[in-house]
Amino acid sequence: MPKITNFKCYLLLFLLSAVLSGAAFAQNPLVRDQFTADPSAMVVGDRVYVYPSHDIYCAENNGRENWFCMQDYHVFSSENLTEWTDHGTILHQEDVPWGNSTANSMWAPDCIERNGKYYFYFPDHGKETSVNGKGFTIGVAVADHPEGPFVPEPQPIKGVKGIDPNVFIDDDGQAYLYWSQEHIYGAKLKENMLELAGDPVILKELPQEGLKEGPYMFEKDGAYYLTYPHVANKTERLEYAVGKSPLGPFDFNGVIMDESPTGCWTNHHSIIQFKGQHYLFYHHNDYSPGFDKNRSIRADSLFFEDDGSIRKVDPTLRGIGVTQMTDHIQMDRYSALSKEGASIAFLDNKKPFKGWMVELENGAWVKYNRISFHQKPQTVSIRIMASKAGTLALYSGNERGPLLAKVRVSGGDHWEIIQKVITDSISGIHDIVLVNENGGKVAVDWVKFE
Ligand code: FUB
């Protein structure tokens, strides 16, 4: 019988607990086994919780083909921004007492904590409204914990018609609800977080032309940032306006993220500060390039200039967080790629959730940054497929070294896992670069150290 070492035991237990708790390993997109959109991120202590919409595919959704179809919400959390745990369904359309249980309209939500309770705001159609009309209103479900269970209130919030709720609590304790319906609206909330405390106002200093939706408010250094997706040209891009109070007036200040390079018509975001760094959560349609109502949530770091303006965020595949050396390091979620001879493709076009590979022509390279070598690795394994025999070089830092391993591939167009002994000692946090040094085209799935 093979001897099971302590290390193997821990690894088995870790993998088992990851499978049981629904852990997902990050890079972009963050969630890798289902469609997710409209991420609303919230920091609770040492963890980040993300409340996205949950897109599914319905061939004909309530008579409207190829439209959004969302029946429930999951919540995901992480303490390292790398491993995300799926806590499962927190609210289903059938559980909303006032909602139309077949509307498939559980659009973009938000969640906020107040006095130890978690208030989850979500749009839905009421029982009486036409599901394809402008019948959206906004409800609240309340929980004692960020992962639920959430209990929906018997009625939606009075005086609110629209979608995309966002709640912000100012330093003086006053809470505000924002939402959209042709315009972006804002209103004070009562202390109970369940009722409006005053009439809604239209936040009208925003661009007049083109759809605006998905408001997200935050405060930094006394400035109130009203951020929102806006169709300035063909599809939504993320913009922001700044004011001196939560209900404005606001001045348009710029673009946070340009239109999606993957052709996703919508974008929808949230911004948090976690352990001293700001992050932008948003979505593209990574797993569904041909149908942009099946989206995937992502995150990238966000930076402010000295004058308080937001530096535009370029969407990356690498995303955020530090990757452990013992994880499958998905090189196709690269931090840098050679300009020529390198490309990304699905492993299986018919099964997108299997993920991607990076294809490297002779001389091309791929770099992956921020890997934690928490123990000195002895070996590296690479899952690879090569058209013909050749050699790849794996470096730490950049393509000039130090060299970690030379990997000889046999060719023959089949996937193989090649294990090599590491030639240099490495510890701490490092980047790695894989270079196709000679031979034909290779496809690389992942790299892993032990
Ligand atoms: O997810 C459905 C809708 O698409 C959201 O409510 C909008 O913000 C857009 O992302």
Residue ID of nearest Cα to ligand 1 atom 2: 107
Q: What is the spatial distance between Cα 356 and Cα 337, in angstroms, rounded to a whole number? A: 15
Residue ID of nearest Cα to ligand 1 atom 9: 266
pLDDT band at 15 (very low <50, low <70, confident <90, very high): very low
pLDDT tens digits, one per residue of 122-136: 999 999 776 666 789
pLDDT band at 4 (very low <50, low <70, confident <90, very high): very low
Å from CA of 172 to ligand 1 middle = 30
pLDDT band at 413 (very low <50, low <70, confident <90, very high): confident
Is the pLDDT assigned to residue 234 strictly greater than 50? yes
In what order do the strands lie in the sheet containing 83-92?
23-25, 83-92, 72-78, 47-53, 37-44
* 38 in catalytic set: yes
Does the fold of domain 323-449 match that of domain 4-302? no
Q: What percent of the chain has pLDDT over 90?
A: 87
Q: What is the spatial distance between Cα 351 and Cα 83, in angstroms, rounded to a whole number? A: 22
**Chosen CATH of 4-302 out of 2.115.10.20, 3.40.30.10, 3.40.50.800, 3.40.50.720:** 2.115.10.20
Pocket lining: 53 vs ligand 1, CB cutoff 6 Å: yes
Is the pLDDT assigned to residue 1 strictly greater than 80? no
Mutate to test the pocket of ligand 1, among 163, 293, 294 (most ligand atoms within 8 A of CB): 163
Contacts 24+ apart (CB under 8 A), 333-337: 333/27, 333/28, 333/368, 334/358, 334/366, 334/367, 334/368, 335/367, 335/368, 335/369, 335/370, 335/431, 336/366, 336/367, 336/369, 337/364, 337/365, 337/366, 337/367
pLDDT tens digits, one per residue of 33-54: 999 999 999 999 999 999 999 9
* 213 in catalytic set: yes
Structure confidence at residue 352 (pLDDT) = 98
Annotated domain spans of the chain = 4-302, 323-449
Q: What is the spatial distance between Cα 350 and Cα 348, in angstroms, rounded to a whole number? A: 5
Å from CA of 38 to ligand 1 middle = 6
* CATH of region 323-449: 2.60.120.260
Instruction: Give φ, ψ of 20 to 5 degrees.
Output: -65, -35
pLDDT tens digits, one per residue of 89-121: 999 999 999 999 999 999 999 999 999 999 999
